[in-house]
Amino acid sequence: MIQINKTPLGIGITMMTFMMVFPLVAFTSPKKQARPNVLLIAIDDLNDWVGYLGGHPSVQTPNMDRLAAMGVGFTNAHTQAPLCNPSRTSFLTGLRPTTTGIYALGPWFRALDEFKDHVTLPQYFEKQGYQTITTGKVYHDAYPPEEDRRDGPEFTRWGFKGGFLPRPEEPIVKSTGHPLVDWGVYPENDDQQDDWKVADWAIEQLKNPPKKDPFFLSVGFRHPHVPLYATQKWFDLYPEEEVLLPLVRADDRDDIPFFSWYLHWDLPEPRLAWLMMNHEWKAKVRGYLASVSFVDMLVGRLLDTLEEEGLMENTIIVLLSDHGYHLGSKAISGKNTLWHESTRVPLIFAGPGVKETGKTSHAPAELLDIFPTLIDLAGLPENKAIEGHSLKPVLNNIDYRREWPAITTHGPGNHAIVTSQWRYIQYADGSEELYNIQDDPYEWKNLAKLTGYQPIIQSLRQYLPSKIAAPAPGNTVRLIELKDGTPYWQGKPISEDAGIPMSFK
Ligand SMILES: [Ca+2]
Ligand SMILES: [Ca+2]
């Protein structure tokens, strides 16, 4: 259900703006209208637990739903890589991981000669006269080194970097080992959180936009990336006794190739078995829900500011998450898989040029499509150097049939191909999975080995990337590679008789 949380103040201001602007428009000669601004909101590790996506029955995201009601929300949008760095590198460069060779938590793409001068999404807008402004986590994690952070070349203006602060002196959940893998009520007030401060900084820019040029403001929030800290009021939205856990099947991985384990061979994220043994499953789900509603409120603060400043009519808004997140399904928590929990993401476009307001599109879409779509919506010249396809035809006509599937890659040779009906997975050793996502939305029944599905598999194989770039130098953390028949996790061979590692033994 879509909830619209529009304040009476917001509506009043929108109407006033309209009344004041209307006479000016009526008596002005048909001059070229100012180019639209762009607000890009990137959320970290947010899966389909968003109201308009229906991934969790009790999640409360009134502001993302309000944005979806203003434009088009995609229900079948997928990341190009289920991990921060390769996903963000992909949608900001407009290139697939299989093109750049960036599959892991490194490298920073500017460190590679080939992409030193590659024109990214914000740079493309800057070249067209936009002021490009950024705050928070838009590129992966760290800002580039200080010496590269001067005004330009990446952005006209760098703002508050943000991070994972504040953190309690000791993790709330004991003995998980990794300092970021934690959840619970913390801190006392919302405005102590780095993400709140990122929103504050962005709001200041919206209140004082560039005088002459249009702006391209990109804002990156870290919630609901771990640590899953939120203040008490966000946990109160999800009383402990009412928290619904994801539906999982204990035998779910029995019909899945063993190679799937290599994709998340040894993560700091606990496996479901650990969460259950330590009675932390519900607590982690609750922390995630609370973090989602907290970040949703920050999205609402940005939308409120656009309304209050009269910027809504001339600002294209795009909201995305870099990839999804498992909370128990397929026996894990975390990401780094090719199933829908990892690949499916919210993707919403609203504002000038989006005609189908309040509609949802079930067409496959990729984060890679953001770059060409924004160019198209803003009326900028086509960029032939990027991959992906403009979604504008869908934004103009919700029934438009796109002919391309969505492709996700995790490490060279492991891909998922998603259409309106199917998810086909091929791993680097050639093993496969096939799901009918219309009949089996939880992807429980692997059809790949059953008779009768070969023609479908054949037709989906044609979309597998034909060129697969070798991992560029600097790919280390979370890299899975198959070399001469041996899987390598982060550069080290995995022996044939190794048992599945159990995080936090
Ligand atoms: Ca992420
Ligand atoms: Ca299964």
Do the domain assignments include residue 491?
no
Longest C-alpha distance within the chain, in Å?
78
CA 337 to centroid of ligand 2, rounded, Å: 14
Do the domain assignments include residue 464?
no
Number of H helices, E strands in the chain: 14, 20
CA–CA distance, 442 with 323 (Å, rounded to integer):
17
Q: What pLDDT shows up at residue 4?
A: 36
Do the domain assignments include residue 432?
no
Identify the three-state secondary structure at position 438.
coil
**Of the listed 56, 78, 140, 340, which one is catalytic?**
140
Q: What pLDDT shows up at residue 182?
A: 95
Locus of tokens 């909830």: 3
pLDDT per residue over 293-320, tens digit each?
A: 999 999 999 999 999 999 999 999 999 9
- 140 as an active site residue: the answer is yes
Do the domain assignments include residue 340?
yes
Residue 173, phi-psi category: left (phi > 0), alpha (psi -120 to 50), beta (remainder): beta
Of residues 315, 309, 357, the one with CA closest to residue 13: 309
CA–CA distance, 326 with 323 (Å, rounded to integer):
10
CA–CA distance, 173 with 86 (Å, rounded to integer):
29
Which ligand has the nearest atom to the CA of 440? Answer: 2
End-to-end CA, the chain: 41
Residue span of the structural domain in which 283 resides:
36-405
- 84 as an active site residue: the answer is yes
CA 322 to centroid of ligand 1, rounded, Å: 5
CATH at 246: 3.40.720.10
CA 449 to centroid of ligand 2, rounded, Å: 12
Output the tens digit of pLDDT for each of the chain's 505 residues.
333 333 333 333 333 333 333 334 333 333 344 799 999 999 999 999 999 999 999 999 999 999 999 999 999 999 999 999 999 999 999 999 999 999 999 999 999 999 999 999 999 999 999 999 999 999 986 576 666 666 667 899 999 999 999 999 999 997 667 889 999 999 999 999 999 999 999 999 999 999 999 999 999 999 999 999 999 999 999 999 999 999 999 999 999 999 999 999 998 899 999 999 999 999 999 999 999 999 999 999 999 999 999 999 999 999 999 999 999 999 999 999 999 999 999 999 999 999 999 999 999 999 999 999 999 999 999 999 999 999 999 999 999 998 899 999 999 999 999 999 999 999 999 999 999 999 999 999 999 999 999 999 999 999 999 999 999 999 989 999 999 999 999 999 999 888 888 765 4
> Token pair for residue 63?
């502001």
> Token pair for residue 445?
């029944």
Phi and psi at 43, nearest 5°, equal -110, 150
Q: Beta 480-483 vs 486-489: how paired, if at all?
A: antiparallel
Do the domain assignments include residue 426?
no
Q: Determine contact, residues 89/79, Cβ cutoff 8 Å.
A: no
Do the domain assignments include residue 141?
yes
CB atoms within 10 A of CB 250: 8
> Token pair for residue 127?
């070249």
Do the domain assignments include residue 294?
yes
Q: What pLDDT shows up at residue 235?
A: 98
Please name the residues in contact with 342: beta carbons below 8 A apart, sequence gap of 6 or more: 47, 79, 82, 323, 324, 325, 326, 335, 336, 408
CA–CA distance, 212 with 220 (Å, rounded to integer):
25
Output the pTM of the full model: 0.92
Do the domain assignments include residue 237?
yes
Query: How many domains are contained in the chain?
Result: 1
CA 460 to centroid of ligand 1, rounded, Å: 27
CA–CA distance, 72 with 391 (Å, rounded to integer):
10
Which ligand has the nearest atom to the CA of 445? Answer: 2
